[in-house]
């Protein structure tokens, strides 16, 4: 829904999912490997919600 527009705002994530943006991104990248997302959908998600690994710069 929000991916074509650069992703959801922190406020929208909190309202829709009841979690911080950081937690939302952590959870998103936990479930993506088991999803049925196409390669194109994965590229869109990466563009809207960059994946940061432990030890890298913090997620805004």
- For residue 60 the two structure tokens come to 């805004």
Q: Is residue 41 situated within a structural domain?
A: yes
Amino acid 13: pLDDT = 94
Per the structure, the count of domains in the chain is: 1
Asked if residue 50 is part of any domain, the answer here is yes
**Residue 4: inside a domain:** no
Q: Which of 51, 47, 60 is nearest to 5 (CA)?
A: 47
Q: What is the domain range of residue 32?
A: 20-54
Check: pTM over 0.75? Answer yes or no: no
Look at residue 26 and tell me if it is in a domain. Answer: yes
Asked, for residue 7, whether it belongs to a domain, the answer is: no
Residue 33 maps to a domain: yes
Q: Report, in angstroms and rounded to the nearest whole number, the Rg of the chain calculated over CA atoms.
A: 11
**pLDDT at 50 (0 to 100):** 83
- Categorize the per-residue pLDDT at 16 as very low, low, confident or very high, splitting at 50, 70 and 90: very high
d(CA 12, CA 17): 8
Asked if residue 9 is part of any domain, the answer here is no
């Amino acid at each position: 829904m929000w991916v074509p527009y650069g992703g959801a705002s922190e406020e929208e994530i909190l309202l829709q999912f009841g979690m911080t943006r950081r937690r939302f991104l952590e959870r998103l990248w936990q479930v993506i490997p088991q999803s049925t997302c196409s390669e194109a959908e994965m590229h869109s998600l990466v563009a809207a919600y960059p994946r940061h690994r432990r030890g890298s710069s913090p997620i805004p």
